[in-house]
Amino acid sequence: MTAPNQFSLSGKRVLVTGASSGIGRQVALSCAQAGATVILTGRDETRLREALAELSGGAHAQFACDLNDDAGVKALAQQAGTIDGVVHCAGVAMSVPLRMASREHIENMFRINTVAPMLLTQQLLLRNAINTGGSIVFISSISATAIGVPGISAYSGSKAGLESMARCLSMEVAKRKIRVNCLAPGFVETPMLQRGREHMLDAVEDTALRYPLGIGQPEDVANAAIFFLSQASRWITGTSLVLDGGHTVR
């Protein structure tokens, strides 16, 4: 008899936010390749359809949703049905020194990066939509706790809040054997990083040189997400895994 593949997502249903581009898109693709049925969500319906068309096998689905809209979040939690995992990839980053940051900028960082994933998770839990033994994964950042970077204090604060919340949440849902973990990537080749190059080319390139294993690819984050979604991580909860090619070791 062949031993079960503890890293397989076969038979699992996984909800992925921010699935229309970047890390979220790759997480959706990789989860489908690992055998999961994937529910994609994001704000851009056209790009969602394009991502959906790339998924292999399964009865995958898409739901366009603005995670800042309470009614939309409630509808998404209902439409998603019963799931075995959720990966919160939707987020935003922008560099503004604190002395120049407006209230709107600061609140927008927290609203999108912290409050939105919290409220979607709340709605899923209220509906008992996450199966016993399921997994909740939040995409954080190395800037949350590992390093200080000038110009992104609001972004870093929003991700630090996300990690703190995740640790507490992991204790709230442990009775149902639901795991809660964060992934904290450094630089990853995504459209978001490309936009950073357009505004701060020298700073981005100088930082990239300080990654011993080079800049990451979306697949590197997606592979870690699959680990946290799979039974291979059944004894891990309340943690944050740094993915940065050795950058913060230096």
Report the distance separating Cα 88 and Cα 35, nearest Å.
19
Q: Which of 135, 156, 145, 160 is nearest to 229 (CA)?
A: 135
Q: For strand 61-64 and strand 179-185, is the pairing parallel, antiparallel, or unpaired?
A: unpaired
Ramachandran quadrant class, 177 (left: phi over 0; alpha: psi -120 to 50; beta: rest): left
Exposure of 64 by Cβ count < 10 A (0-12 exposed, 13-18 middle, 19+ buried)? middle
Report the 10 Å Cβ neighbour count for 203: 15
211 among known catalytic residues: no
Write down the catalytic residue from 24, 40, 87, 155.
Answer: 155
> CA angle, 241 as apex, 57 and 134 as ends, to 5°?
45
Q: Which residues are catalytic?
A: 155
